[in-house]
Structure 1
Amino acid sequence: MEAAAAAARERKRPREGDGAPSAVVAAGEAQYVYLPIADALKAPGARVCLFAAISEIGATVRSRGTDFTLTLRIADQSRPAGISVTFFADNTALLPYVRSGGDVISLHNVVITMHGEFFVTFNKKFSSFALFEGRESTKCSPYQSSMKYHGSKHDNELLNQMRIWLTYNPPGMKDLELQLRSLKADTTFDLVCKVLHVHENNGEWIFYVWDGTDTPAAEFQAILDAEAVESSPLHLEGAPPPREVLCTMPCVGTVLRVFANRFFKEVFHLQKNIYWARFCNISCKQEFGIWKGMLSPSSRLRLLSHEDASVVDRLKIYDSRIANQVHRQPMASLLEASNVSDVEYETAGYTTLMESLTHEQVTHKFKTLVRVVAAYPCRASELRLLLTGSFCLRLTLEDPTARIHAYVHKDDGAKFFGGFLTAEALIKKMNKLLGIPEENEEGVPLIRNPPWIWFCLKSYRLDKNDPWGSRRYRVFGTEIRD
């Protein structure tokens, strides 16, 4: 009798791949037994139920067969580092659509698999899922669930416990998550941003990313040589994007160029100009005063929903910013009231350089707030010739959205500088434009920090047969104060 009973118990015990459900029935209702992830890993091949937080969201791609597949990374108290879950479905509508990183997922009858490392497999024939809001919420009902999913009365208690844990342990969030306005050089961090454009050139990928804020204004190391401030590139990537691409980009907020020397599978999604993403383990540096993002071999890309909490926060900041005319101005300029220049268009509204570059007309006039990062020529002898009408002065102007060259034509030189000045007075004004300090402590590197200056600019064309390609900018109605 004992042997028969033992044999019966053995027949009821779940075996690897035998299809046994991870639930028991009590009083006519299924009661699912949820395992901590760490315990589930001890039962490879068996069906298990998990209740965990979503720390990373992958891209939806077509599998080698006819299915679509999606990979999420989930975590709980037992395994904060998490584990990957791979979903398969006949069409994308049957896959989980996660609103935000940190949301909670309930998984029924998934299988722990191992190929080099442990991961969870969702079988479309017998597995099921439900998605819940992870942030503090009174809602305990799922915002998405698969057809075969059936919850139990104890799920709400588990959900509340998970939300409490998430309050103090947001999964996947690094201690250092920055916005473009707070970039730091030589630091590794995460960046949440919208990918506006992706460009590939000889195996190098360039991501054009934006979050609605401005990168910090750069300081320049000034070498006591005029050539140090005579030239500065307008673009890190050589040629700018085509005009049709440029016109799709926001006119307020910096578009950061992020460079990578390897392919990411998420590129195909990011090329559509609709996705936000988390760039994990990214670093930045400045080249010629322009911020440059860099992806290393350890960097990763994670697609984000428009409903992700980080995305929603950034869009709120941007909406608040563009609703106020002053807040549309460069963030760094709000702390520095510029009184360097007098302009004719005193009452005109503010226009960013990107707004001008994407203006529907080639020729137009506008008032803008910029810094002079370079000038040519800037030697005293040549500047004196400028006042006599022998030279044209080229200024390199920047704001958080773009850099351009703008010219002070030879017949406007005296007006721009405020009269026919001595060589010494000219150099003093040029130093003010470029942010070169009047005095510098001996032994300390000379640093220049160009001030924010109001300029009136007009655009014009050199060739009527190529109006956009031959467009130039000219300074007018602007005088530099003493």
Structure 2
Amino acid sequence: MGNDRRLSSIREALAVSEMGTKPTPTFNFAGLVLQFSSPRKSHGTDYVVTLTIVDALHSKLTANIFTNTLQHLPLIRSSNNLILLINVQIKKHDGEVYAVFNKKYSSFALFDPKTSTNTPYQASPGFDLQSIDVSHIQSLMSLSLTYRVTIERNQYLISLQDLGRCEYFDLVCQILHVENVGAKECVLFVWDGTDAPPLHLETNLAEEEPLPLEVEPRLLNMSILRKFPCVGTVLRVKAHVDISMHIQEMGQWVKIRNMTYEIHFGLWLGRLLPTTKLTFLPDNEQTVLECKRTMDERGLGKDGRLPFWSNPLPALTVIDSANIPYATLMDLITQAEDEITVRCVVRIVAVSPFDAEKYRADGRYGIILTLEDPTARIHASLNGLDGDMFFEDCPSDALKRRKMDELLGLTLEQNTNSHRNPPWIQCCIKPDAIVDGKLTRARHPCRFERLVKEIRSFLAFD
């Protein structure tokens, strides 16, 4: 399979392949990587990644890269990475034309234009960098500076506030963190500045254990959580393979094409599919700028801390002071101080114990409420005198049960397993630092390291 290392344009290669020349010719391409799939197993024993590249003439081509191992697949790590493809064939299947990388005689090399170097950051086994390759890469450097990735707007492109509108969708978002949850799986934590819709709940409230706080199998530590934005939903997205190798820097913007969602205990969970493709986006891409603008606007004034979905706010609760600043639950988690009290707009999604006659133990209240807003879900304690204030107008257990049912979104006609949609309420919350072990119950462990959230006496029924 001899080759003179001459570069072909995509347009030229497609024209030659249409002639049906025998034997099938091979071509060399240089271009920018616009889109890539997650690694997957081929129908045989190989692994495969699908790339979309664009050349200097702005022609696009799909390339399927086959290798023996995951480690030898190309690792795209930022927007506008450059690629050299050597000795690849053009094939056609079901009307689709694509390049095929054969592990026996094809090779590739990847370059990062941000480093302004002619040395590849990754190359396939057998790749030999030649002097002519350097000129190819230098000619593409200018293309990487001038080519603008544009996001096609269509019915499938949504924001997180539109979750549930369609089963399969595209999303432009920022990758905040990647967590490996198994040998071959990972969870992406993504964000676009908007609030995911509140979900109806079906959980049996009479169960002993409270609702889970997150969908991931283990909770993130505080050093990671403190880096998350305090407004907007951080969506957990499960990947069927480990794609953390592609995410070299946290905070990258990406378009995820063709993903879906699931619902776990009233929490959204995104899921990547074998057909999912990703596009790294520059910070100045128009859709990215719109997401950033949304975040900036939400950082101004009290309205930025209110859930999109809480207007109008039902007058189910009152607070003692209107001067207490608004905050989100993520504000509490990431910026908690012992003496600060904030006002949150939340939903009570669970209570433990469920039976009103068990709210008191030894004459004192001891209740765990599960609160949520678009940013987080936490367990909050309602103890002692704070419980007296909370239920000040409810002399009987039956009345307390009716009031709590209203906050949980239960009606007289519903049972504990019915679909329910808890209303939004105002409450004031103060985080209390604790000594390790104190205030920690086996059934209701503290949600965050060394912190427990306590509903203060500012909250009472209207």
Decide: shared fold, TM above 0.5: yes
Match of 2:191 in 1: 210
Query: Aligned-pair distance for 1:420?
Result: 4.3
Match of 2:292 in 1: 315
Match of 2:380 in 1: 406
- Of 265, 276, 282, the match for 2:253: 276
Query: Aligned-pair distance for 1:72?
Result: 4.6
- For residues 414-453 of structure 1, the aligned pairs below 5 Å read 414-439=388-413, 446-453=418-425
Match of 2:73 in 1: none
Query: Aligned-pair distance for 1:456?
Result: 1.0
Match of 1:124 in 2: 133
Structure 2 CA distance for aligned equivalents of residues 470 and 446 of structure 1: 35
Structure 1 CA distance for aligned equivalents of residues 276 and 10 of structure 2: 33
Structure-2 change in CA distance of 1:71 and 1:381 (3 Å): closer
Match of 2:176 in 1: 196
Structure 2 CA distance for aligned equivalents of residues 46 and 261 of structure 1: 33
Counterpart secondary structure, 2:304: coil
Match of 2:355 in 1: 379
Q: What's the % identity of the aligned pairs?
A: 26
Match of 2:115 in 1: none
Counterpart secondary structure, 1:249: coil
Q: Does the Cα contact within 8 Å between 1:215 and 1:400 map onto a contact in 2?
A: yes
Give a deviation string over 1:405-447, Cα, whole Å, max 9, x none.
111113322210233422332122101110112445x9xx832
Structure 2 CA distance for aligned equivalents of residues 420 and 458 of structure 1: 24
- Of 237, 242, 245, the match for 2:224: 245
Amino acid at match of 1:308: E
- For residues 335-346 of structure 1, the aligned pairs below 5 Å read 335-346=311-322
Q: Does the Cα contact within 8 Å between 1:38 and 1:79 map onto a contact in 2?
A: no
- For residues 220-299 of structure 1, the aligned pairs below 5 Å read 220-221=201-202, 223=204, 226-227=205-206, 231-264=210-243, 267-299=244-276
Residues 1:178 and 2:154 are matched in the alignment: no
Match of 2:429 in 1: 457
Match of 1:361 in 2: 337
Q: Does the Cα contact within 8 Å between 1:36 and 1:76 map onto a contact in 2?
A: no
Structure 1 CA distance for aligned equivalents of residues 6 and 191 of structure 2: 49
Give a deviation string over 1:432-482, Cα, whole Å, max 9, x none.
110112445x9xx83211111111111223317999733211111334425
Structure-2 change in CA distance of 1:402 and 1:457 (3 Å): same
Structure-2 change in CA distance of 1:49 and 1:239 (3 Å): closer
- Of 316, 319, 324, the match for 1:348: 324
Match of 2:122 in 1: none
Query: Aligned-pair distance for 1:341?
Result: 0.8
Structure 1 CA distance for aligned equivalents of residues 267 and 278 of structure 2: 23
Query: Aligned-pair distance for 1:212?
Result: 1.0
Q: Does the Cα contact within 8 Å between 2:253 and 2:280 map onto a contact in 1?
A: yes
Give a deviation string over 1:82-103, Cα, whole Å, max 9, x none.
43499xxxxxxxx998679xxx
Structure-2 change in CA distance of 1:259 and 1:312 (3 Å): same
Counterpart secondary structure, 2:186: strand
TM-score normalised to structure 2 length: 0.70
- Of 294, 299, 302, the match for 1:325: 302
Counterpart secondary structure, 2:296: helix
Which has the larger Rg?
1
Query: Aligned-pair distance for 1:247?
Result: 1.0
Query: Aligned-pair distance for 1:367?
Result: 1.4
Query: Aligned-pair distance for 1:372?
Result: 0.4
Amino acid at match of 2:238: F
Amino acid at match of 2:261: C
- For residues 76-95 of structure 1, the aligned pairs below 5 Å read 82-84=61-63
Residues 1:471 and 2:451 are matched in the alignment: yes
Structure 2 CA distance for aligned equivalents of residues 110 and 230 of structure 1: 55
Q: Which runs of 5+ in 1 are unaligned?
A: 1-15, 23-32, 60-69, 87-94, 133-140, 146-158
Give a deviation string over 1:66-92, Cα, whole Å, max 9, x none.
xxxx96524999998x43499xxxxxx
Counterpart secondary structure, 2:179: strand
- Of 74, 89, 93, the match for 1:114: 89
Structure-2 change in CA distance of 1:96 and 1:423 (3 Å): closer
Structure 2 CA distance for aligned equivalents of residues 346 and 185 of structure 1: 36
**Count of residues paired in the alignment:** 393
Structure-2 change in CA distance of 1:78 and 1:320 (3 Å): closer
